[in-house]
Amino acid sequence: MDRSLIVTHEGNEIFSSRAKWLFPLFDLEEYLTGKDLPVERMELTEKVAGQAAAFLIARLGFRKCHVRLISEQAIPVFERFGVSFTWENKVPQIQCRTEHILMKEMSQEEAWQLLRRRAGRVHGADISIQKLEINIRGRSIINGLDLEVKRGEGMIISGENGVGKTTLLRAMLGLQPIHSGIIRIADVQIGSLVWKKNRHIAGYVNQERTRSIFPVSATEVVEIGLAGRSLSRQEIRKRVEAAMRRTGCFNLADQSFHKLSGGEKQRISLARCLCQQARVLLFDEPTTFLDPRGRDDLFRMLIELYEKEAPTIVIVSHDNTWAEKFKWETKELKEGKIW
């Protein structure tokens, strides 16, 4: 089978692939990560390039490429980002659904985020809820609710106080008994034996509005994410430190969790989720008790996490800033259903 992608530097071949669609370009991205290579001085030869491939080639930093079969839709993308290109054959467009969901005005980051999700190059997991019913003390809280969140996508759920937003999140974690319906995360049914062995794939960050005199350090809270895992003490320390450094809270390691500020607690809770390697992150009104600086810090951490690893994120919040910052799909929980 002909190679679909070849990369050369000063006449020497350094990478090639026989894979199809956009996978060679994603494989190339992984190959280049962490390597100090002069991409701008390399030449890329692509078998077929539509606008999706053009976006990815530009984002990788290539300044020169040759395409055997190019679509007319790719040309303005190459020209916009200053990529010099030649071709052998040209067609109006490539028959691929991906080409129709991209817009040439997109930024490189917007196109990359969309394409890597379609390619499955994300850390997140699918969430599927079907006909969910939850009754509490004889009162119907959730009534026939359906919800789908694809892996690596984000969603914001709004709703008035008391409509069941927190109840819904707790049900997704297996903490809230349900009357009927099915909840699946990563195609595993919540409450099943398989789920109980893999519940670490879902992480939860709540409002943390209460104080307790129970003595627990910030480090011990992060370690909760590894409870029940068969890991050595050395591996636990390694994972905890790495997660706390990523969220900028390692300096709080020995401090009492319950004496921390709201923003510091959110950092610790997010570190716990990262420590357990959660693929789904559930946030319950995460900015309610944060000051402006704490809110900005949380936004910045999640934007960085979402861009680098793309976990699936569901945020329950009244704060409209989430929608402005992330431009995710926004739903409303009302009358026991998602609208």
pLDDT (tens digit per residue) in 186-205: 999 999 999 988 999 999 99
- Residue 118: is its pLDDT beyond 80? yes
Q: What percent of the chain has pLDDT over 70?
A: 98
Phi, psi at residue 25, to the nearest 5°? -70, -35
- Residue 211: is its pLDDT beyond 60? no
Whole-angstrom Cα Rg for the chain: 23
321: which 2 tokens?
């800033």
Mean pLDDT, residues 325-337: 88
Q: What is the pLDDT of residue 209?
A: 56
Q: What is the pLDDT of residue 147?
A: 96
Q: How far apart are CA 8 and CA 186, in angstroms?
A: 39
Better-predicted residue by pLDDT, 121 or 60: 60
Domain 151-177+188-338, what fold? Rossmann fold (3.40.50)
Sign of the Cα torsion 247, 253, 255, 257 reads positive
- Residue 49: is its pLDDT beyond 80? yes
Q: What is the pLDDT of residue 182?
A: 96
Q: What is the pLDDT of residue 310?
A: 85
Q: Which amino acid makes up residue 303?
A: I
Mean pLDDT, residues 168-182: 94
Phi, psi at residue 323, to the nearest 5°? -65, -35
- Helix axes 51-60 and 108-118, enclosed angle (nearest 10): 120
Q: Which of 108-117, 135-144, 303-312 has the highest mean pLDDT?
A: 135-144
CA contacts within 13 A on the Cβ side of 315: 27
Its pTM surpasses 0.85: no
Other Cβ atoms closer than 10 A to 248: 15
Mean pLDDT, residues 154-161: 90
Better-predicted residue by pLDDT, 293 or 89: 89
CATH of domain 5-118: 3.40.140.30
Q: How far apart are CA 198 and CA 114, in angstroms?
A: 28
Q: What is the pLDDT of residue 309?
A: 82
Q: How far apart are CA 40 and CA 32, in angstroms?
A: 12
- Residue 83: is its pLDDT beyond 90? yes
Mean pLDDT, residues 259-280: 90
Q: What percent of the chain has pLDDT over 90?
A: 59
Q: What is the pLDDT of residue 143?
A: 93
Q: What is the pLDDT of residue 160?
A: 87
Better-predicted residue by pLDDT, 118 or 44: 44
Better-predicted residue by pLDDT, 304 or 52: 52
Mean pLDDT, residues 319-327: 80
- Residue 278: is its pLDDT beyond 60? yes
Categorize the per-residue pLDDT at 215 as very low, low, confident or very high, splitting at 50, 70 and 90: confident
252: which 2 tokens?
């709080």
Mean pLDDT, residues 124-147: 94
Average model confidence (pLDDT) across the chain: 89
Mean pLDDT, residues 44-61: 94
Q: What is the pLDDT of residue 294?
A: 82
Mean pLDDT, residues 136-156: 92
**What's CA 312's distance to the chain center, in Å?**
5
Return the domain boundaries, the chain: 5-118, 151-177+188-338
